[in-house]
Amino acid sequence: MLANSMLAMKLRAALAAQGRRTQAAAQLQAQPPSAVQAQPPSAVQAQPPSAVQAQLPPSPPAAHAPTLEAVGEDSIRVTWAVPRGVAKPQAHAEISLRVEGSSRWLRVDAVSGKLDEPDALPLPLETTCCVVKSIDPQVTYVARVRLGNQSGWGPDSPSSKGLQLAALTPIAPAAPILEAVNSTSLRVHFTLPPVRPGTPASPSSPISAIAIFVQPDGGAWQLLDATSSTLTAGTGNAFLPAASRALAKGLSEGVTYKAKIRAKSVCGWGEFSPISEPLQLHFKPTAPAAPVLEEALDATSMRVHYTLPPVRPGTPAHKWLAIHVQPDGGAWQVLDALSSTLSDTPRKVVQLLSGSPSYAVVKGLSEGVTYRARVHTENIHGWSAFSPISEPLQLPVSEVEVTGSRSREERDAELRKRAVDVDAEVVELDASPCPKRAR
């Protein structure tokens, strides 16, 4: 403010001095010849005839047409060139703008940079540009310049080319694409629109920011804040143009969302993109088909064959599969993929990788017991419903029949004893039936 006040005082003082010199020159030229002759001869001889004319330089010639450049959402920079031979320290420039199609010119104040202010001050000619502020971005403006010195103002320059700030805002980008991340998050993918010719560049790009708006089904549009990655109904931070995707967190599972974006340049925000295709965050997998059970290597293991359900369009692929097995009359347990045994708290379920087999082996089961199985799959949205229960499979009993055994430990002891007896019988059969001859 202090600098602006000092500039205004200097300009007013310079203009006042210029006015006094112009008035004095006019008074001298208006004197009759007798007044000059009335002066003493020495006084007349002391001033050569061209002395008065030499004190005042000629008026400046017309300047070239200025150029206009957008520098803000409501600001234009006017730049001009000073013709050769014009003494800059004693000259000033008057800048005027008018709306295209109108005949009324509005002068620019050198201190405030605003149009049509009372007593608008010209600019000292040490500078060859000025910024005009607070203009209507929807209107096309043209500018002209005229230069002045002690002898008065020169002619107006030709008009500049027209400039409308709103015509330099970004065009609408393409519709963004939504990608589900988990049951409460999605990712917005976007691209920048092409840049209009003549759009001024920000420090890194003609596009300076991207605003993303997200709408839940039946709700209001909300701004996606770049700092918190959450939706806000108020103000928030926009995304940098270098980013090509943005994460939206804190959403509601099962709700359908849409998104739209807009880009910003130095001249302001552009038009909104078309609305994206909707995305629902409740796309869990469908239930698989019932598994099929098969006897495996021995009487205490079996294979569970399964197939994966089809993937819903627009949803992620299956990542995990859990196999639940139930002995006849018992509780459901989960297959631990690390040990291939049943557990109430499995350390890991079956991970679905490319090229993985479509079956799993279950070990540590009981002979003669009937088992059933069911499966379900998981993607990033959660677990599917269970498949139908498989047909039952009864594991066989060992070929060695052991009677009177009341537990596995007793049965194993009986089997070991039977094995010893068989070995003894084999030894007796191998013995020679003929007695040895005495020597």
Q: What is the pLDDT of residue 117?
A: 75
The stretch 160-187 carries a mean pLDDT of 93
Nearest by Cα to 167 from 43, 265, 276? 265
The stretch 265-287 carries a mean pLDDT of 91
Q: What is the pLDDT of residue 234?
A: 86
The stretch 319-329 carries a mean pLDDT of 93
CATH number of 169-197+204-280: 2.60.40.10
Q: What is the pLDDT of residue 415?
A: 57
Q: Do domains 2-165 and 169-197+204-280 have the same CATH topology?
A: yes
Question: In terms of pLDDT, which residue wins out, 255 or 60?
Answer: 255
Q: How far is CA 308 from CA 42, 172, 202, 334, 375, in A?
A: 120, 42, 52, 18, 10
Cα 48-53-54 angle, rounded to 5 deg: 80
| Residue 138 reports pLDDT greater than 70 | yes
The stretch 130-155 carries a mean pLDDT of 92
Range scoring the smallest mean pLDDT among 59-73, 141-155, 248-262, 425-439:
425-439
User: What's the start-to-end Cα distance of the chain, in Å?
Assistant: 141
What CATH class has 292-394?
Answer: mainly beta
Q: What is the pLDDT of residue 14?
A: 52
Q: Are strands 341-343 and 333-336 parallel, antiparallel or unpaired?
A: antiparallel
Q: What is the pLDDT of residue 171?
A: 94
Q: How far apart are CA 387 and CA 390, in angstroms?
A: 9
| Residue 410 reports pLDDT greater than 70 | no
Q: How far apart are CA 222 and CA 26, in angstroms?
A: 69
Q: How far is CA 230 from CA 1, 187, 196, 205, 209, in A?
A: 41, 12, 31, 26, 18
Q: List the structure tokens of 275.
A: 């609305």
Q: What is the pLDDT of residue 430?
A: 42
Alpha helices by DSSP H, listed for 47-191, are: 51-55
Fold classification of 2-165 is: Immunoglobulin-like (2.60.40)
| Residue 35 reports pLDDT greater than 50 | no
Which residue ranges make up each domain of the chain?
Answer: 2-165, 169-197+204-280, 292-394
Question: In terms of pLDDT, which residue wins out, 174 or 196?
Answer: 174
Range scoring the smallest mean pLDDT among 208-222, 245-259, 271-285:
271-285
Nearest by Cα to 111 from 15, 12, 16, 14? 12
Nearest by Cα to 90 from 5, 159, 154? 154
The stretch 247-255 carries a mean pLDDT of 93
Q: List the structure tokens of 280.
A: 């629902």
Q: How far apart are CA 246 and CA 223, in angstroms?
A: 12
* Average pLDDT value for the chain: 81
Q: What is the pLDDT of residue 7?
A: 45
